[in-house]
Amino acid sequence: MSTGASTPSSPRGSADPEYAANLRRATLASSVGSALEYYDFALYGLASALIFGELFFPALGTNAGLAAGFATFAVGFLARPFGGLLFGTLGDKLGRKGVLIATIGLMGVSTTLIGVLPTGDQIGIWAPILLVVLRVLQGLGAGAEQAGATVLMAEYAPVRRRGYFSALPFVGIMIGTIIASVVFFLLGLVDTQIVHDWLWRVPFLASILLIAVAIFIRLRLRESPAFINLEKSEQIAHNPLREAFAHSWRTLLRGIGLRMAENGGSAIYQTLAVSYITQVVAVDEWQGPLAIAIGAIIGIFVIPVAGALSDRFGRMRVYRIGSVIQLVLAFPAWWLMSTGSVWLIIPVLAITYGLGVNVMLGAQCAALPELFGNRHRYIGVAITREFSAVIAGGIAPLIGAGLLAAFSDSWVPLAGYVVLLSALTLWATIVTPETRARDLDLASDAIDDSNEDVSSRPLPTVSRREFKRNGGRG
């Protein structure tokens, strides 16, 4: 690959057949990985909300079993930072491609094995123990999977359309969520005894198909241009983890702040809200998964649009709009869901999840890699994503279950929790520097850029028609 084709900030174009082929592979590889990760995420979250308590904690009763199921959900999030630290370090030292193959394999195999686990009635205490072990392994793999996909896509994308191209793989998140939600919607239509006897296993076993496709694509993928440039210049960090904490702690805090509303909102609406309307409001079990599936369909369109808008108007401005949407909708949404009306619950949950969360996600796809310098970008994004995933997303269902118990199943504290997370992210968008079109070969973080550095960046995105007329040059 020529120098011009491999430098992230140069006007690379799809007129170069080699670059175009690798851009397509990178998009597909990242999309399939995102689909598998969020299929796993949504599948496990819905299973925790609806069936895992009875299957793996039968002796605890309904409420305690639900809390125990959510605890295993949180365990996976607690494992993710360790996976992010391990594989993120390897990604900055050895390259993005090999690590992404390892993480997708570990994550996918763990999900598949959950489908063959004996239940609590069959082997007693060993059932939840084995479930927790597999959930930990799943979390270790997931801890660097999304960070790697984010970094890889940003480093491949044309600079002035980086927001749009970086957002495309995250459509895979919505596809994985849709698949998992549709699966549980269909399970909700089947006799409960059949589902609990054996049918619940099928969705977990089916993930092996996504693993095979993802590994096949990633084996054919070339290493990212930015990492190739690091190798050529012999600038690879010997200890990217130490470098990230020593020089990028302010950037890490800003990144974690940006993730609070997006990741927390995603977990709250995909798991806690589904559990609330099923267990407290007592609607049919199929309604929650159907609402999430519709919200994910909305996200398929919202994410790339938000990414494209961030190319034109800036990452932080679009991100800020998403956090405001989620904040404003919080109290009306939870009140409407508490009514028990299927005609209100499904559209409200779908819109709240599909719009507010995904506007932020669309802007985030390019923003997080642009925040960090090249020598520690993978580990920086991994720390940002996974530490925030524990703080915001992993414990959200547990906190929600605790709030419901403490306030007699009232929806008001749950809405307040969403407002708090949204406000934290809104503040983060104000104090975080704009990163649009930043040079990804730079070793320094965006927080160190001067006003002159920012003003010298490429102009906002060209139109799609102009992009094609220029032969795909970004």
The share of the chain scoring above pLDDT 70, in percent, equals 93
Indicate whether 16 belongs to any domain: no
Q: What confidence tens digit (pLDDT) does each residue in 231-270 have?
A: 888 788 889 999 999 999 999 999 999 999 999 998 889 8
Q: What confidence tens digit (pLDDT) does each residue in 44-71 have?
A: 877 877 778 788 887 777 777 777 877 8
For residue 219, what are the contacts with CB-CB under 8 A and spacing of at least 6?
Answer: 101
Indicate whether 466 belongs to any domain: no
Say how far apart CA 101 and CA 89 lie, in whole Å.
15
Please give the structure tokens belonging to residue 53: 């308590």
Asked if 287 and 348 count as a contact pair (C-beta separation under 8 A), the reply is no
pLDDT classification of 3: cutoffs 50, 70, 90:
very low
Say how far apart CA 396 and CA 471 lie, in whole Å.
46
Please give the structure tokens belonging to residue 134: 């597999």
Say how far apart CA 164 and CA 154 lie, in whole Å.
10
Give the ranges where 356-431 is alpha helix by DSSP (H): 358-371, 377-388, 396-406, 412-431
Does the pLDDT at position 465 exceed 70? no
Lookup result for tokens 């919202």: 302
Does the pLDDT at position 296 exceed 60? yes
In angstroms, how far is CA 62 from the centroid of its own chain? 30
Indicate whether 3 belongs to any domain: no
Residue 184: per-residue pLDDT = 78
Indicate whether 112 belongs to any domain: yes
Does the pLDDT at position 181 exceed 80? no
Please give the structure tokens belonging to residue 104: 């997708």
Q: What confidence tens digit (pLDDT) does each residue in 303-343 have?
A: 999 999 999 999 999 999 999 999 999 999 999 999 988 88
Report the length, in residues, of the chain: 474
Indicate whether 455 belongs to any domain: no
Q: How far is CA 91 from CA 132, 151, 223, 227, 435, in A?
A: 26, 10, 11, 9, 22
Number of domains composing the chain: 1
Indicate whether 451 belongs to any domain: no
Asked if 473 and 12 count as a contact pair (C-beta separation under 8 A), the reply is yes
More confident residue, 184 or 316: 316
Supply the range of the domain harboring residue 126. 22-442
Asked if 100 and 29 count as a contact pair (C-beta separation under 8 A), the reply is yes
Does the pLDDT at position 468 exceed 70? no
Indicate whether 71 belongs to any domain: yes
The backbone region for 409, taken as left when phi is positive above 0, alpha when psi lies in -120 to 50, beta otherwise, is left
Does the pLDDT at position 2 exceed 50? no
More confident residue, 316 or 280: 316
Say how far apart CA 126 and CA 119 lie, in whole Å.
9
Residue 320: per-residue pLDDT = 97
Q: What mean pLDDT is reported for the chain? A: 85
DSSP letter (8 states) at residue 189 = T
Residue 462: per-residue pLDDT = 57
CATH number of 266's domain: 1.20.1250.20
- The three-state secondary structure class of 470 is coil
pLDDT classification of 196: cutoffs 50, 70, 90:
confident
Residue 8: per-residue pLDDT = 43
CA atoms within 13 A on the CB side of 109: 11
* pTM for the whole structure: 0.81
**How is 97-110 classified by DSSP, letter by letter?**
HHHHHHHHHHHHHH
Indicate whether 13 belongs to any domain: no
The share of the chain scoring above pLDDT 90, in percent, equals 34
Residue 22: per-residue pLDDT = 76
Say how far apart CA 363 and CA 310 lie, in whole Å.
6
For the segment 405-413, the average pLDDT, to the nearest whole number, is 90
